[in-house]
Structures are given as structure tokens and as C-alpha cells.
Amino acid sequence: MTISTLLTPELVIPALAARAKGEALAALAAHVGRVHPHLDVRRLTDALDERERQSTTALEDGVAIPHVRFAGLPAPLAALARSTSGIDCGAVDGRPTQLFLLLVVSAEQPGGHLKLLAGAARLLSDARCRTRLLAAETAADLVAVLREHEARAHLHAA
């Protein structure tokens, strides 16, 4: 399973209005809840907040990959949000976070999320990918950029 198979333009927020990490996580959870109404948004938001209290999911270079294991989830979910101004999320390099890739995986399948998380980190560590994501105009363009870079990474790995 790849990030681009989980993302559709409906699961992308091209202009995240949040100004703080908690607001960004709540916006991502609410957005996923609109697309997947069976999901308990409050429970997801609480799980994301708890995960962030353990340690930040903000990486370097303006990227965060908030992720949680969630009981009763039939299949992994993902959402992508972009903040043009950036949000302080406590990244190790001190830079504001502009790209948020949310991953929600089933608690009943604990090993499955590691490959997804590793793939997401590899994808977003690519400076060209990040630059193109920040320049993309629409949600569909953001998804297309991820698909293209994921396909290219897959070719190089084969």
C-alpha cells in the first residue's frame, strides 16, 4: 500500500488555516471525518493530541507526519494539508511545518503502519517533492505530485 493510493483530492487541504499545531491536527481529523463519516472525529483528535504529547511528529524541512493507530479501522486512512505560512510544531531544525501528512492505521494490524510511515518519510524527505508540493495549485495537483514522486521512488527501488 502506498500513500498515493490512500489520498484523493477530497482528502487534501491545500490551504490550511490553522495557526497552531493543535488546530492543524483538529482540522486534519475533521477533514478526514467529513470524507469518512463513520470515523469518530473527537476520538481521532484526542488520539493525535496524545501522540504529540509523547513526542512531536514534526520532522525536518517543514514536514510533519502525524500518525496514530486507531481501533476498529477497516483500512488505513491518510490526509494531506499544506500551510503556506507554516506552523511551529517543535521540529528539530526549528523550522515551521508547512506539510502535514496524516496517517491513521488499524490498531489491530500493528506492523502495517511501519511500512506506510517509512514510505511517507522517504517521500517527503525528497526536496524536489516538497518544493513541488508547496508550489502545487490545487488538491488534485498535490495528489498528482505525490503519485509521480512515489512512482519514481518505486522505479528506483526495483
Domain of 152, CATH number, reads 3.40.930.10
Confirm if 74 and 109 have CB atoms less than 8 A apart: no
Residue among 41, 43, 64 at smallest CA distance from 52: 64
Strands 67-70, 97-106: pairing kind: parallel
Which positions ≥6 away from 61 have C-beta within 8 Å? 93, 95, 124, 125, 127, 130
- Measured between alpha carbons, how far is 123 from 118 in angstroms, rounded to an integer? 9
Quote the pTM value.
0.94
Average pLDDT over residues 11-28: 96
* 94 half-sphere exposure, CB direction, 13 A CA radius: 0
Please tell me which residue in 31, 67, 113, 149 is annotated as part of the active site: 67
67 catalytic per annotation: yes
Q: Which domain holds residue 123?
A: 3-157
Strand ranges (E), the chain: 12-13, 63-64, 67-70, 77-87, 97-106
> Does the pLDDT at position 157 exceed 70?
no
Q: What pLDDT is stored for residue 86 in this prediction?
A: 96
Express each pLDDT in 124-155 by its tens digit.
999 999 999 999 999 999 999 999 999 887 77
Residue 44 pLDDT exceeds 90: yes
| Pairwise CA distance, residues 85 & 93, whole Å | 17
Compute CA 26 distance to the chain's CA centroid, rounded to the nearest angstrom. Answer: 13
Confidence of residue 2 (pLDDT cuts 50, 70, 90): confident
pLDDT category at 109 given cuts 50, 70, 90 is: confident
Residue keyed to cell 511501519: 114
Domain count across the chain: 1
Quote the mean pLDDT of the chain: 92
